[in-house]
A = this chain, B = another copy of it.
Amino acid sequence: MLRNHKKIPEPTIERLPLYSRPLEELLKAEVPVVSSDTLAKLCGVNPAQVRKDLAYFGEFGVRGVGYEVASLLKEIKKILGTDRKWRLCLVGFGNLGSALFENHNFRRRGYTFVAVFDSDPAKIGRILENGIVVEHPKKIKEAVPRLHIQIGVIATPPFKAQRVAEMLFSAGVRAVLNFAPIQIRKPECCVVENVDFTISLENLAYHLAKLH
């Protein structure tokens, strides 16, 4: 048994969400069982990789048959914590922030915005979906414990992002999704994920330039 001995590689964690997407499709299409080969093709990875990744967490497959779609999906969600609900707050209700807030993919996957903060007086007080009211960021300190906010999403201008992050951390938030194109300094105990589209664009540009 692999699962009890070794720690789980980061790339494995990053591939699990990749597997869960085609699995959701298969579930919808009422396909009962999937092989590592098929799943691998759907995700564009190696079949052995799929089996090994899954084996870190348990024996989910049946030899000679494959993986039962519904139960595998459930297991992956359990591993990722996606079977739980997570409560988020949004800081920065601008173009990007409002697109994030209005996107129902997040809620469908268990990520619910329960508070929105913005420093613009023109936006403070505005009433959004689910009765959420835009508040000044100075309310973060008080709102995080009261609303049990677990994840902070930063969509402010870059030069405000570090300060906002610090407010979130000191209010008790341990995980931050940061859309501002800067490197956030964080306490040891906290996790930060950066999303930066321009990095993806620069990657594309590099590969394009090579194909001349």
Please list the residues of chain A having a beta carbon within 8 angstroms of any beta carbon in chain B. 13-14, 16-18, 21-22, 42-44, 79-82, 84, 86, 94-96, 98-100, 102-103, 105-106, 109, 111, 150-151, 174-177, 181-183, 189, 191, 193, 195-209, 211
How many angstroms between the C-alpha atoms of A156 and B13 in the bound complex? Answer: 27
Rounded to whole Å, the gap between the CB of A195 and the closest CB of chain B is 6
> Which B residues lie within 8 Å of A211 (CB)?
174, 189, 191
CB-based nearest B residue for A24: B181
Rounded to whole Å, the gap between the CB of A125 and the closest CB of chain B is 22
User: What secondary structure prevails in chain A residues at the interface with B?
Assistant: helix
> Pick the contact of A177 from B14, B43, B195, B200 — CB < 8 Å?
B200
A-B contact pairs, 23 of them (CB 8 A): A16-B206, A17-B202, A17-B203, A18-B183, A42-B183, A43-B183, A44-B183, A80-B206, A86-B201, A94-B99, A95-B98, A96-B99, A99-B99, A106-B197, A109-B198, A109-B201, A151-B204, A174-B211, A175-B205, A175-B207, A176-B204, A177-B201, A191-B211
Rounded to whole Å, the gap between the CB of A57 and the closest CB of chain B is 11
> Which B residues lie within 8 Å of A206 (CB)?
13, 16, 79-81
Given A183-B42, A193-B203, A202-B17, verify A151-B84 contact (CB < 8 Å). no
